[in-house]
Homo-oligomer: A and B are copies of this chain.
Amino acid sequence: MKKMKRIGILTSGGDASGMNAAVRSIARSAISAGLEAYGINYGFAGLVAGNIRRLESKDMDGIIDRGGTILYSARFPEFAEEKTQLKGIEQLKKFGIDALVVIGGDGSYHGAERLTQHGFNSIGVPGTIDNDIPGTDFTVGFDTAVNVALDALDRINDTATSHQRTFVVEVMGRGAGDIALWAGIGADADAIVIPEREYDVKEIAEHLKRNYENGKEHGLIVLAEGVMSAADFKEQLDQYGDFDSRAITLGHVQRGGRPTAKDRVLASMFGDYAVRLLLEGKGGLAIGIRDNKLVATDIIDTLENHKHITDVSLLDLNDRLRF
């Protein structure tokens, strides 16, 4: 096998806090090993356009604490087409890049998978707030998003308590309930509603009524966006009682901001692991952490035969711990 010399890095899909920590980790780990690192701007769109620049160690200074991605991201549905993929590989070869590390979510992984299938060595690092990537227990950005949501829920609890209100708060997560579960448990939610399990509005309403009667005159329902909108859920809830309810959608604030320690450390471990695997001549892999250990699985198999499993036992835990 040809000796590895240059590693390309791109971020793709929705931004997640810790992406910069992952970029830094890949670049610095590569440079430490005597390789060169190249940053590809604007995700797969920039790849195809050849928007590529050398990354020096100094460029990685002062970015680990920044949200967003210094490599930018962009929507690029055209990358589903084979000829566009081949054009991307052409650009990589033009820059002498031997392997590519893609940081992103589901769609980004599919891009990396395609390149691998065309014979270009690509590795996926899971970076999304939704935690919905197969092959890993946790993604980079999830912990920050949960903490941002929790911070908002703590504030909302202040108002709920002061005004004896019930808030229905919609959090992100696309099709997954992970953010809702973690933020909901952390915020002492009365109910957490996620796509992975049936919900019963009437039961929730009765639980709230009992609470109001027993001295907890405020309520919090944390709703995953994959179920329905906060406004729709509130409408359903209101049919079973008057809780002076309010619907809130937290929205994009969950994406950005200073990454937490866990997201920075996870991103650092993932990025470095990807580089070390490439140095061992491996590739076509999806990086992850499973049972608290770094793992790398075949990216094609991972995407085609596995899916993220949300830990729904957390719902039962919440039912035991709520008021």
Contacts and interface: CB of A to CB of B under 8 A. Distances in A.
Interface of A: 11, 14-15, 17, 21, 24-25, 28-29, 32-33, 57-58, 60-62, 64-69, 72-74, 137, 143, 146-148, 150-152, 154-159, 161-164, 167, 182-183, 185-188, 214-216, 246, 248-253, 255-258, 260-262, 264-265, 268-269, 272, 290-293, 314, 317, 319-323
B156 A252 contact: yes
A209 to B, nearest CB: 16
Contacts of A147: 260-261
A132 to B, nearest CB: 17
A110 to B, nearest CB: 19
B62 A256 contact: no
12 contacts: A28-B321, A28-B322, A32-B320, A73-B162, A155-B253, A156-B253, A158-B256, A159-B255, A182-B265, A186-B265, A246-B252, A272-B320
Contact of A251 (B25, B248, B319): B248
B186 A64 contact: yes
Given A157-B256, A182-B261, A24 B143 contact: no
A32 B187 CA distance: 18
A92 to B, nearest CB: 22
Integer count of this chain's copies in the complex: 4
A317 B269 contact: yes
Nearest to A246: B252
B158 A67 contact: yes
B68 A256 contact: no
A245 B167 CA distance: 28
Given A72-B164, A269-B317, A272-B317, 19 more contacts: A11-B162, A15-B162, A15-B163, A24-B188, A29-B320, A32-B319, A32-B321, A58-B214, A60-B323, A65-B187, A68-B161, A72-B162, A147-B261, A150-B260, A155-B256, A253-B253, A260-B260, A265-B314, A272-B320
Contacts of A257: 151, 154-155, 158
Contacts of A320: 28-29, 32-33, 272
Contacts of A143: 261-262
B261 A150 contact: yes
Contacts of A25: 321
Contact of A188 (B64, B187, B255, B314): B64
A26 to B, nearest CB: 10
A17 B162 CA distance: 11
A123 to B, nearest CB: 17
